[in-house]
Amino acid sequence: MSDKNAIEAALFAAGEAVGLDGLAKLVGKKPKTTLKIVEELIRDYEERNAGLEIIDLGKRYVMQVKPAYSEKVRSFAPKEMTAPLLRTLSMIAYHQPVLQSDIVDLRGNTAYEHIKELIGRGLVKATPEGRSKLLTTTPLFADYFNLEENNPEAIRKKIMELSREQSGKEGLDRWLGRRFIGFTPMYKSLADLCGIKEFKVVDAYNPTEEDLDTLDTIFKLIVSKGYREKVSANYAGEIIEAGSTTFDDIIAIMEILKDSGDPHIAEQNISHIRELREEYVSKAMTISLKANPTTEMISRILNDLHIGISPEGAKISPDYGTGSNGEIVDSESALLVPTHKSIDVDNIIERVSIKYESIINGLKNMEEKKNST
């Protein structure tokens, strides 16, 4: 097979955009040489006036039906399955033969519609079993997931193999249609910081019906510390609790996520965060006034800035106005530090920076007032 034919076959089989580096690896050529082959293939399709075309998305290429023919062939295209539908199908596949009533118990009443659609697609077969139905997969199911046979034991074995892969649960979840990393709104900027392209932003704390559907597409979810139990009531995938008090908190979660995105981008941003932290530590070195934190959160920031702590120091509290012991603290008696509820910025680095700046500038102002009296 020629290199051009191999690239053509890859673009046809992918059904989505393929990067130049991936195509170069396929044919064993340098990207520059591969680019010439792809450009020649694009010209071939243009000159052939075919019903398909290859679109250049900037070092990424996709083969698609020309717009002039898309409406005519739409009825022949297979409909993609939604994540909830895939989840129901996966449970049938793993537990088969399984009673419809058992699947409904596990997935809720929406499973009735899912099962009806799966039978209509020819992926699931239903046979009467008492007052319920016995569900099994069909040979078409095996074709859909590129399995050699539609054997329940072979299907379960495949699922177990995926769960034991190096990617572990991620490999299994991706096979079942869960392909995104999820971020609660406060942490969505981590996606850019780590170079993560495929992600979803979702309210996992008080989810709407739309949020619940989104959670079905997610295999790994980033939430605030202390919310694991609340979130797990609606989400069964991997939950990672992240902090947002100090720069070290950001670095810690980025170290976990960097291999899910672009490690080079993540390392660059981690270096930037470390440099930023050192800048704030340098600013704080000019402060001789000691501080008295009313919460653990404030104490962690003071320690990170190397600011001295003393019971007789300047009282510092979160802006919600209470200390760890429930003591009411106001702005007349303490320096109030903004928390995530009052910081209206999306970038998590800026959120931490605002806290550090408020403490440094507040203590400097207190020190100046003290020295002027």
Higher pLDDT, 197 or 157: 197
For residue 80, pLDDT beyond 80: no
**pLDDT tens-place string over residues 172-195:** 555 455 568 899 999 999 999 999
In this predicted structure, what is the pLDDT of residue 153? 83
pLDDT at residue 175 in the model: 47
- Using pLDDT thresholds of 50, 70 and 90, give the confidence band for residue 78: low
Is the confidence at residue 127, as pLDDT, over 80?
A: yes
Q: Residue 315 and residue 179: Cα distance in Å, rounded?
A: 47
Mean pLDDT of all residues in 314-333: 64
Torsion-angle region of 95 (φ positive above 0: left; ψ -120 to 50: alpha; else: beta)? alpha
Contact by Cβ (8 Å): 269, 193: yes
Phi, psi of 129 (to 5 degrees): -150, 90
pLDDT at site 233: 80
CA distance 367 to 346: 32
| Structure confidence at residue 103 as a pLDDT band (50, 70, 90) | confident
Helices (H), 74-221: 83-95, 100-107, 110-120, 139-144, 152-164, 169-175, 189-193, 209-215
Indicate the Cα dihedral angle 299, 300, 304, 305, nearest 10°. -30
How big is the CA angle at 359 (ends 353 and 361), to the nearest 5 degrees? 95
Q: Are 237 and 176 in contact (CB under 8 A)?
A: no
Q: Which residue has the higher pLDDT, 84 or 7?
A: 7
Name the amino acid, one letter, at 238: E
Contact predicate 181/187, CB 8 Å: no
Map out the domains of the chain with their CATH numbers. Answer: 3-76 (1.10.10.10), 83-167 (1.10.10.10), 179-266 (3.40.50.1980), 285-372 (no CATH)
Round to whole Å and give the CA distance between 30 and 25: 8
Task: Give one DSSP letter per residue of 50-78, joined into a string.
Answer: -SEEEEE-SSEEEEEE-HHHHHHHGGGSP
- pLDDT tens-digit readout, 215-270: 877 878 999 999 988 888 888 778 899 998 999 999 999 999 988 889 999 999 99
Listed residue (221, 179, 197) closest to 81, CA to CA: 179
- The two structure tokens encoding residue 147: 């399995």
